[in-house]
Structure formats: C-alpha cells, structure tokens
Chain A
Amino acid sequence: MKRLVKDESLCIGCRSCERACSTAYYKVDDRDKSCIKINEKPEGGFEIKVCTQCGICYQVCNTGVIQPNPKGVYMLNKKECVGCLMCVGYCPEQVMVQDDSRSEPSKCTACGLCVKACPTGAIKIEDC
C-alpha cells in the first residue's frame, strides 16, 4: 500500500507542500486547491491533513469512478466522474479539492511532489 504519512513535529509551516500540490494540477499557488493542508494548531505547531487512502470516497461514489490502483491508491477517473462532490463532503480529512473552475474534484494520488518539496521530512511516502 502506498500513501502519505506525516510527522507533525517536524513541520515548520512553510506550506511548500501545499504550493507543490496546487501548482501541479491547478497551476496556481492556492492552498484551497491543495490535497494536503497545513493548519496552525491553537496550542502552537502545525497540523498536517493528508489523504490516508482510507477509501471512504470509493465507498460513497455511486458512479464507481474512484477505484484503488494496484498500490492501494484510490484514483479518480475524471472522464467518467459526474461531479456530484459526495466524496468531497465525506472525506474525513477534508483534503479532497472542489474548485468551481472544474467539474470534477481532485484527490491525492500519492505522487510524492509534496514530499519532494518538504524541507524537513515531515511528510513521506510509505510504500509497503
């Protein structure tokens, strides 16, 4: 199974990961369009919200367009997606992106761009 894992103690809140993610697909630096989210904790430090590949998006989709690939990463087939946004609403981490410029939402594909952008190693790809 391939997925992102995190170590919040290493996060410095630089948001490089958010930039890498939103720029990759949406071609803009906009954290609302990132499938990884960095939030400040009230008590200090940072919370990292990442897709855990839990598969809830797959379960709620009645078009069957979200399917696991051989690595266990849930992939969204945008061509067949009808844009119902149920996956966005049901995502327990709230890291699926809905943007009005596109009909379909987008989700983490565990591509690793955010990992490469992270200067501290707070996120990494687990592949087991």
Chain B
Amino acid sequence: MIMMCDVPRYKDVDMEEINKIRDAHVLLNKVEYEPKQIYRGYTDKLLTIDVSDSSIKISDIPAEVKEKFVGGKGYCLRYLWDATNPNTKWDSPENEIVMSAGPIAGITQYAGTGKMLVCTISPLTGIPIDSNVGGFFGPYLKFSGFDALELKGQAEEDVIIVIDGNKGTIEIDKAPLEHLDAHVIGEELTAMYADNENDRKHVAVVCAGSAADHCDLSMLNFTFYDPRRGVVRLKQAGRGGIGRVFRHKRVKAIVCKYQGIKNDLNHVYDISIINKTGVKYHREMATQDPKQNNMRKIGTANTMKILNDYDILPTHNFKFGGTPNISEMEPKVFIENWLTQGGADGCWYGCSMACAKAADHFKLKTGPYAGQCVVVDGPEYETAAGVGPNCGITDPQVILELNFYCDTYGIDTISWGTMVAFLMECYENGILNKERTGGLELNFGNAAADLELLHMTARNEGFGKIAGMGTHKQKEYFAAQGWGDINFMNDIAMEQKGLEYSEYGSKESLAQQGGYGLTNKGPQHDEAWLIFMDQVNNQIPTFEDKAEALYYYPRFRTWFGLVGLCKLPWNDVVPENNALTDEPAKVPEHVDNYLNLFYGVTGRKIDREDLLVMSERVYNFQRIFNIRLGKGLRKHDAIPYRSVGPVTEEEYLSRQERYDGQLVEKAGYTKEQMEAMSLQEKMAATRKYREGEYEKLIDAVYPKRGWTMNGVPKVEHLKKIGMDLPELLEIVEPLQDLQP
C-alpha cells in the first residue's frame, strides 16, 4: 500500500522557464476594481469579459434574478439565455461560457462546498450543457467579488485572463508561450502568479488541453494546489464539450488568485449553525465511511465491484453488465496497489469525504510524456468503467494512463469511454476496419489502439479527427459513407441529444432509463442517479415509485447546482440510523443539514418543499431553453435501444433465462407461447414490451412535472411555480396543444 507519508514531493517547475513565458505576455486590458465583500453568501455582482475586444464589465445582479434563479446553474442559464438567441450555435461569438458557484459555496465547515457550475451551448448537443466541478476557482472567484462570470466573444490570438481578488485587478494578456496540456499549464500559471511556494494554494486555474482546439468531447480542467504533494491537481467540468468552446474563443486559461481563506468569508447569517452542522457531519464521516463506502480510500470507484455483481457495470459498449475479469480492477486492487492512502484528498477545504484520490508518481508508458512520473487524479468510477470494461479493458495501468491523458488533453473521460466503446463495436461488426481507421485495430480490449487513438485525437491526426466528432456525428458519418446500417448504429450508439451516456447499464432499471432519457442536458446521471436505489437497494419497486422518483430527484438534485454543493456527501455515506427513517433513499437527516446550511448562510428559512420549488423553476427554464434551441420535446427524450434491452442475439443469449422469464412474467406470454417462439421472435417481443414500458413511463412522468404529453411545460404549471416569465410563455404558449 502506498502511504501519503512516503510519497516524495513532485519536482518543482523551472522558474527561469516560467519567467520567459511571462515575459512574452502582452497586456490587452487591465482594470482595477473594489472587490465587493460577500454578504450572506452573495456579492450580487456579475463579471462579463468579452475577449473579442478585451472589454471587462462589472454589473449588478438584480434582486429578481436572485429570487428566481438562486445562483450557480440558475445564474448560468439566465445569463446564457440573455446573451444568445434561437439561432445561436456553439461557435457563435455570442455563445458564452458562464460560471457561477452559488451562495453556499466557499464555506469550509461542511463537505463538498466548493462547487462551481459551468454552462454553455454545447458543440455536442446544440443545447445548454451544465457541468459541475470542484477545485478552488469557484470559491476564489466569489471571494474576489463575483457571483458569476460570463465569458463571451472570440479573441484573435491566445489570451489568458487573470483575476486578483486581493489587489482588485483583472487583466487580459496575449499569452503565446503557455503550453496547452492541463497538467503543464496548470503548473506554469500556478507558479507564475504565486509569490512563493506557500502562496501556490491561493492560485486557481481554469484551462482545457491540447485536444480542445479541435475535439468536440473537450472539457475544462479546474486546478487546486496540493501542498502536501507539491503538485497541481485537476478537477473537471467534464460533460458536453465546454473546453471546445473555451478554446474556440482562444482563451488558454483563466487564473484567479485569493489569499486569506477563512471560514466566514461568506459573512453568513449564523455561523454557529454552520459550525455545528459541519462538525456533526465530520464526526459521522469519521465513524461511518469506513463501515460504508470507503470514500476516503477509493473515492467513487468504490462501486465498481458491486455494480459488476448487479449486472450494471457497462461492458463492451453496454452490451453486458459485468466482466469476468473484474478482480483485476476491483476497489481493493486500486487501494492496495495504486491510490495513495492516508492523505486528505478533498478538492475544497472541509471536505471530509475526501474522494479526490490520486495515483502518485505514476510512470507513463505512451504518448508525449512517456517515461515521466505524474500525478493521476482519479480514477472516478465513471472514468474507470468507461475507459475500462466498457472498452474491454481491465488493466489498472491502462485505465490510469487513459485517465491521465484524457485529463491533460482536456477530453471528457466519460464521453471518451462511451465513444470508443461504440467505435469498437462498429469495428467488430465490420462498419469499421483497418483501412477505415488508418490501421488501428479497434477490437474490444485493444488498449494500445485505444491509447494511440487518444494521442491521434489530441494531435488532430488521421482517424483521431473522426474520434473528435463524438458518437452522434460519427454514426451519421459512417452511414453517409455507406459503411453501416444507420438503424443498427442508432440502436448501439449510446448517445442521446448528442451527448454520450455516462456509465451505468440501465437495461434492468426502468427508472434509470428515465433517469438518462428524461434529462435536460442529455444522458448524464447527475439529474436522476436512480440505478442504486432501483436495482441494488430496491427502494423504488413499483412503477409509480419510479415515476415519482423521476419527478422528485431531478428537482432535489438540481438544487445542489444552484447553491454550490457537491451531491456526493448527501448519500454516499449516510447517518448510522438512516435505514430506520421514513424515507431512507432521501437521507432525511442530510436534507435537514442542507436546509440548515442554506439558512445559516443566507438567513432565509426554507423547508423541503421550498427547496424543490427553487430547483423546479430552473429545471423548467432549462427545458424551455432546450425547446428554444430546437431540442426539448418528447421525441428528443427517446433513447437508444441498447440502454433498454438486448440489441443483438449475442446479448439476448447471454441473459436468455432472464429475458425468456420476463416474457412470461411481465410481457403477458404463456410459457408455452414463449417456448414456441424463435430467438428473433423473442427478441422482437422483448423489444416491443420494453420500449412500451419506457413510453408508459414518460406518460406517467410528464404530467407530474407539469408538462404536456409532448414534454412542453404547461402555462398553468409555470404560473404555479412562479416562472411565467414573458420570454418563457412566448415559447411554450404556441406549443400547448401540439401532440407528440
């Protein structure tokens, strides 16, 4: 086992080199400002930077915006809406990247309180994407005086933006020499803007990676400096191609510096409530985490084995729910051989859940940094599952190498894993071959080909250009070339609305099918992560339970993104007596903790229903934003059959007993009828039944959400939740009677 106390510090950067890079900067604009002190969680200030003309503007956030949109994702979507129009595309100059942390963000006494939300119109989906991210940038931006930052325009040359919250300065510089890969530019800018080594923890950097110049799967990295290791760590706003938009604007990085972190920089209403709630939670983590999920030892990848055992772990492009080779990569392998133990791996202060695990001094075997020893942040469950078994890979060395290179190139590991899995299935079905891939043998399990494809994508070479398109555009391209049947590819391409699926096999969980399909941004699990409560814990057994969960959880979970919180501390470890409560799945004591934190920070007393309404307003706003951009109706909530049932004979036969049984137990066939059917007939009957169930689920969920059967928010519902804004009514009123 590798212990924190035995980990040598990382080699320091060459300050001469850093000075040369800095000397090449050319100042484009600099403003001085008086940082507004936070009051009860808010600065009520918006920073707008237009890199087209290097303008910098500070404006007030109106009270009505605060009331309806709360902060975080609410602010991001509000300002993104205002900046764009129905014809705005991801690469339109008016498209913005908006970032906002939310009122609770920046307190240090409770776990998971450093989150920032990031929104833009996505190159993958063409609609708003929202992604949440840890690291220090969100709190530092707020301490520097801004509840939100909007980044617009397109620079002529590469620039960096530097915000110093102590000095009260914002500057935009031409920055020609900084490297693009995240682990390099993160170190460069952290060292450049810190006064000394002890000061590096006061610098936070947002950057993308070299792939973001051309790859639509690109994300944003957010750094934080790890003083124990002496190295910059990376967290990701991963989903939906935000990094591609960032680099299209020719922004290399945004730096925010703030010294003097204390636990009351939010100037909260009642710090006593926050202190008590925080200490209570830390005590609970100290006793319960070792008995429950071991988040401090393995992070989110603790679920790997159990998801394999429950037939949920996506394997070979979601064909199967587990791999016989799981013992090669189960949690204890990472704990004992790869991830440093005994450290404090939180991505913001006060995170006692500390799931930001790292593999230290990991020696790379491939690519431009081969032979170097680096820190690898992760792997998160989604990364390990996506680049691992879903692509037929179970070797931890390869998983960590893919993890590292995706991060530093600025590629979303989830999209990469799901996209490569699709390419591999296409390869094994003859849709692709060596000639079409430029020599890459993309069979499941070919780790060398996967890594080479990743390096080619970063260099924008050969078949790497195709990889950079993302799954949705790939299948259309392959069909247009006459390489394969579009219907088959539509069934096996695990994307919806243009976004690649995250990593849960949902065939046996109708609730999770809805949790993916009935989302605003596309099939990411953060809105309705129901797979555990549905398939593992059996907490929502009936059809009505599942429909209700798809009403409750997207509202509940949206709230975290409004206020600046991480969701993991909510239910990854629960109070000792949680199972004895009325609704264990909701973790009532932790919900009360959140109500206390919101009250303690803002002074505004809310109950559980108030919390849901806050979310519901923003949720419906986002749905209508999708409709405004042409992708928010029922037809857009359709999902690929691979996420619902067995597409191929191989899949059906692998779980034949289950599928045969369900035809009798659920689909209404007698045993004799079922036994008389051919395999093809059974598959067709299974498909008809399962797709019918999904449609029934939509029929049950939309009315609960206050939507028409075509998925359009009803005017009366918008009035009920106080979101009958004129710009929303203008869009939904003509669609009220439109049938699906």
Q: How many A-B residue pairs have CB under 8 A?
A: 76
Closest to A56 in B: B286
Q: Which of A59, A62, A85 contacts B342 (CB 8 A)?
A: A59
The 6 sampled A-B contact pairs (Cβ below 8 Å) are: A59-B4, A60-B344, A62-B228, A82-B349, A89-B280, A100-B272
B263 touches A84 (CB 8 A): yes
- A98 to B228 alpha-carbon distance, docked (Å): 25
Complex contact A85–B109 (CB within 8 A):
yes
| Min CB gap A56→B, angstroms | 8
Q: A89-B284, A100-B275 are in contact. List 7 more A-B contacts (CB 8 A).
A: A59-B342, A82-B262, A84-B108, A85-B282, A86-B282, A89-B281, A100-B272
Which B residues lie within 8 Å of A88 (CB)? 279, 282
The answer to whether B350 touches A85 (Cβ under 8 A) is: yes
Which residues 270-289 of B sit at the A interface, judged by CB distance below 8 A? 271-272, 275, 278-286
Rounded to whole angstroms, the CA-CA distance of A88 and B281 in the bound complex is 11
Q: Can you list the 7 inter-chain pairs with the closest CB atoms, starting with the nearest? A: A89-B282, A83-B263, A84-B350, A62-B344, A84-B108, A89-B283, A82-B261
A117 an interface residue at 8 Å Cβ cutoff? no
Query: Across the interface, do A82 and B344 meet the contact criterion of CB distance under 8 Å?
Result: no
Would you call B262 and A98 a contact (CB within 8 A)? no
Q: Are B345 and A85 in contact (CB under 8 A)?
A: no
Expressed in whole angstroms, the minimum distance between the Cβ of B546 and any Cβ of chain A is 36
The reply to whether A89 and B286 contact each other, CB–CB distance below 8 Å, is yes
Q: Decide: B108 and A82 in contact? CB cutoff 8 A.
A: yes
By a beta-carbon cutoff of 8 Å, the part of chain B in contact with chain A is: 4, 108-109, 201, 227-228, 261-264, 271-272, 275, 278-286, 342-346, 349-352, 354
How far, in Å, is B31 (CB) from chain A's closest CB? 29
Q: Tell me whether A100 and B271 are in contact (CB under 8 A).
A: yes
Name B286's closest neighbour in chain A (CB-CB): A90
A window 41-96: CB within 8 A of B: 59-64, 82-86, 88-90, 92
A103 close to B (CB within 8 Å): yes
**Is there an interface contact between A62 and B109, defined as CB atoms closer than 8 Å?**
no
A103 to B271, CA, bound (A): 10
Option from B227, B264, B275 in Cβ contact (under 8 Å) with A85: B275
B352 closest partner in A (C-beta): A86
With A63-B227, A88-B279, A90-B286 already in contact, the answer to whether A103 and B349 are too (CB < 8 A) is: no
Q: How far is the CA of A93 from the CA of B492 in the complex (A)?
A: 56
Option from B263, B346, B352 in Cβ contact (under 8 Å) with A89: B352
Question: Pick the contact of B279 from A63, A82, A85, A92 — CB < 8 Å?
Answer: A85
Given contacts A83-B263, A88-B279, A98-B279, contact A59 B349 (CB under 8 A): no
The answer on a CB contact under 8 Å between A63 and B286 is: no
A63 & B349 in contact (Cβ 8 Å cutoff): yes
Q: Give the shortest distance, in Å, between B21 (CB) and chain A (any CB).
A: 28
Would you give the shortest CB distance from A113 to chain B, in whole angstroms? 25
Query: B275 is contacted by which of A82, A92, A98 (Cβ under 8 Å)?
Result: A98
Shortest Cβ gap from A10 to chain B (Å): 30
- A60 and B285 CA atoms in complex are apart in Å by 11
Q: B residues within 8 A CB of A63?
A: 201, 227, 349
Residues in B with CB closer than 8 Å to A83 are 108-109, 262-264
Shortest CB–CB separation between residue B476 and chain A, in angstroms?
46
CA–CA, A63 to B346, complex, Å? Answer: 10
Query: A39 to chain B: closest CB distance in Å?
Result: 17
Interchain CB contact under 8 A, B278 and A85: yes
**Which of B201, B272, B352 contacts A90, CB < 8 Å?**
B352
The 8 Å CB contact of B344, one of A59, A89, A98, A100, is A59
Contacts of B263 in A (CB 8 A): 82-85, 103
Q: Would B346 and A62 count as touching, CB distance under 8 A?
A: yes
Instruction: Give Cα A88–Cα B279 distance, bound, in whole angstroms.
Output: 7
Q: Which one of B278, B281, B354 has the greatest number of beta carbons of chain A within 10 Å?
A: B278
Q: Nearest CB to that of A58 among chain B residues?
A: B344
Contacts of A85 in B (CB 8 A): 108-109, 263, 275, 278-279, 282, 350
> Which residues of chain A come closer than 8 Å to B261, judged between CB atoms?
82
Q: Smallest distance from the beta carbon of A42 to chain B beta carbons, Å?
A: 22
Residue interface mask A6-27, B partner, CB < 8 A = 1: 0000000000000000000000
Give the distance in Å from the alpha carbon of A61 to the alpha carbon of B228 in the complex: 10
Q: Which residues of A sit under 8 angstroms from B350, Cβ to Cβ?
A: 82, 84-86
Q: Which of B201, B280, B344 gathers most chain A CB within 10 Å?
A: B344
Neighbouring B residues of A59 by C-beta, 8 Å = 4, 342-344
Residues A84 and B349 in contact, CB atoms below 8 Å apart: yes
Distance (whole angstroms) from the CB of B607 to the closest CB of chain A? 25
A83 to B281, CA, bound (A): 15
**Known A86-B350, A103-B263: A61·B344 in contact at CB below 8 Å:** yes
Q: Is B262 within 8 A of A103, CB to CB?
A: yes
Q: Provide the residues of chain B in CB contact with A84, threshold 8 Å.
A: 108-109, 263, 278, 349-350
Identify B345's interface contact among A62, A64, A86, CB under 8 A. Answer: A62
How distant is the Cα of A83 from the Cα of B268 in the complex, in angstroms?
Answer: 14
The distance in angstroms between the C-alpha atoms of A60 and B470, with both chains bound, is 40
Inside 8 A of B282's CB, which chain A residues have their CB?
85-86, 88-90
Residues of B within 8 A of A86 (CB): 282, 344, 350, 352
Q: Closest CB-CB distance, B234 to chain A, in whole Å?
A: 16
In the complex formed, the residue of A with least CB distance to B198 is A80
Chain A residues lying within 8 Å of B272, measured Cβ to Cβ, are 100
Residue of A with least CB distance to B283: A89
Q: A89-B286, A90-B286 are in contact. Are A62 and B279 (CB under 8 A)?
A: no
Nearest residue in B to A87 (C-beta to C-beta)?
B282
B113's closest neighbor in chain A, by CB? A84
Residues of A within 8 A of B264 (CB): 83, 103
CB-defined contacts of B351 to chain A, threshold 8 Å = 62
| Minimum CB–CB distance for B404 against chain A, Å | 22
Shortest C-beta distance, A93 to chain B (Å), equals: 12
**Does the CB pair B279–A89 fall under 8 Å?**
yes
CB-based contact B352/A64 at 8 Å:
no
Contact partners of B271 in chain A: CB under 8 A: 100
A61 to B262 Cα, complex, angstroms? 14
Q: What's the Cα separation between A20 and B108 when bound, in Å?
A: 30
Distance from B5 Cβ to chain A, minimum over Cβ atoms (Å): 9
Pick from B4, B343, B350 the residue with the most CB of A within 10 Å.
B350
A60 to B354, CA, bound (A): 9
**Would you give the shortest CB distance from A65 to chain B, in whole angstroms?**
9
**Which of A83, A84, A85 has its CB near the most chain B CB atoms (within 10 A)?**
A84
Nearest residue in B to A88 (C-beta to C-beta)?
B279
A47 CB to closest chain B CB (Å) equals 19
B287 to chain A, nearest CB (A): 10
Determine the distance from Cα of A63 to Cα of B286 in the docked complex, in whole angstroms.
18
A116 to chain B, nearest CB (A): 30
Cβ contacts under 8 Å, A60 to chain B: 344, 352, 354
CA distance A103 to B275 in the complex (A): 10
| Chain A: minimal CB distance from B535 (Å) | 33
Asked whether A64 lies within 8 Å of B227 as measured between CB atoms, the reply is yes
Name which residue of chain A comes closest to B108, CB basis: A84
Query: Taking CB as reference atom, which chain A residue is nearest B351?
Result: A62
CB distance from B379 to the nearest CB of A (A): 20
CB contact between B349 and one of A62, A89, A98 (< 8 Å): that residue? A62
**Chain B: CB-nearest residue to A100:** B272
Report the minimal beta-carbon distance from B562 to chain A, rounded to whole angstroms.
23
Q: How far is the CB of A99 from chain B (nearest CB, A)?
A: 9
CA distance A61 to B281 in the complex (A): 15
A98 to B274, CA, bound (A): 12
| Chain B: minimal CB distance from A22 (Å) | 18
Complex CA distance for A59 and B275, rounded to whole angstroms: 21
How far is A71 from B401 in the complex, measured between Cα atoms in Å? Answer: 42
